[in-house]
Structure 1
Amino acid sequence: MTAEPTFEELFRSAQHSAWHFEGRDAYALDEDYREWTAGNRFDPAERWPWWVDLVSASVARGVDVRRARIVSEPVSGYIRYEHALTSGHNVKAGESVRWLPRRQASSLLLPGNDCWVFDRSSVLFNHFNGDGEMTGEELVTDPAVVSACVTAFEAVWERATPHEEYRPA
């Protein structure tokens, strides 16, 4: 029995694209979040250099790395935190990031969980509990599921506002 690839292995093996769909208004309120909300600002690229390295290496070899976030407005404190760190973390690493207010997503059919879509051939669903703590991952290669997630991501991407232009309400 072969073990399923890890997230990092999936990311490093992506040839064309790695797209992340995020639909939660909050995730686990970890020490980094608490530190930021206490006013202790930090450079996210210094805090999480492994992410900058992973994404920048992928982008350098031609992988299109995108992140689409659907958010409620007015945004939660956690989304303000994410927005504040996105330029120095995600964008600095080479990701393209867009934001879509939830009210503009009502007519879209969306995955029930956050997920990564790799090369339009696999989906890694991220499962969270009600407190925003990750409880597991689920790799799916069923073409119908992958196609549905690709279609959903592209629809969100088309409507969403680029990070540089989005101002959290």
Structure 2
Amino acid sequence: MAEAPSFTDLFARVQRSAWHLEMRDGYKLTDPAFVDWQAGREIVPADRWPTWFELVSATVARGVEVKRVRVVSEPVSDYIKFEHSVTAGLNIAAGEDIRWLPRRQATSLLLPGNDHWLFDETTLLVNHFNGNGDSTGHELIEDDPDLAKQCVTAFRAAWDRAVPHAQYHPA
């Protein structure tokens, strides 16, 4: 049995699109960057996460669209305020297109039960978390075209309804 490709490998082989759907109001609440932000320390996103910045920049430079929708509860959690505050300096600066979807506006959408990455509309990397937002691993699904199609449909519906980052002001 072959070993699953790494996240970096998945980005290296993507040809057209890498879409990320996030649906939690907090991730890894002990993250040093989040703790620093809560303490009022300045965060320079591209310096704090250079590996991510370089990975996305290189992927976008190859002509791949990298999009992310964040489904959020309002009023937003402190973690979402933190994410919003670093998004322009990291994700947008690297070339990602980010949108925010208030959860109340997602009620009529059929969304998957887990956050995931969708590569070239065919390969899913499903992210699993515990109740505190800590990662408990991931699951690579490459051989389920029906599931991939469902996730494409869900992402597009969320994307169409979501607010571009520059226009979203966390409530």
Q: Which residue of 1 aligns with 2:80?
A: 79
Deviations along 1:126-169, whole A, 9 cap, x unmatched? 00000100001001120011001110000000000000000000
Distance 2:133 2:104 in 1: 21
Please give the secondary structure, in 2, of the residue aligned with 1:135: strand
Q: Does 1:16 align with 2:23?
A: no
Q: Which residue of 2 aligns with 1:133?
A: 134
Distance 2:71 2:43 in 1: 25
Instruction: Provide the alpha-carbon RMSD of the alignment.
Output: 0.6
Q: Which residue of 1 aligns with 2:121?
A: 120
Q: Moved runs in structure 1, 4+ residues, more than 6 A?
A: none
Distance 1:135 1:8 in 2: 19
Verify the 8 A CA contact 2:66 2:95 in the aligned structure 1.
yes
Q: Which residue of 2 aligns with 1:159?
A: 161
Deviations along 1:75-113, whole A, 9 cap, x unmatched? 000000000000001000000000000000000010101
Q: Provide TM-score, normalisation by structure 2.
A: 0.98
Aligned AA (1:75): V
Stretches of structure 2 lacking an aligned partner (at least 5 in a row): none
Q: Which residue of 2 aligns with 1:69?
A: 70
Please give the secondary structure, in 1, of the residue aligned with 2:116: strand
Q: Provide TM-score, normalisation by structure 1.
A: 0.99
Distance 1:79 1:114 in 2: 15
Distance 2:43 2:103 in 1: 29
Distance 2:118 2:152 in 1: 7
Distance 2:43 2:84 in 1: 14
Q: CA offset at residue 11 of structure 1?
A: 1.1
Please give the secondary structure, in 1, of the residue aligned with 2:55: helix
Identity %: 59
Distance 1:13 1:164 in 2: 30
Distance 1:50 1:90 in 2: 12
Stretches of structure 1 lacking an aligned partner (at least 5 in a row): none
Please give the secondary structure, in 1, of the residue aligned with 2:166: coil
Verify the 8 A CA contact 2:116 2:126 in the aligned structure 1.
yes
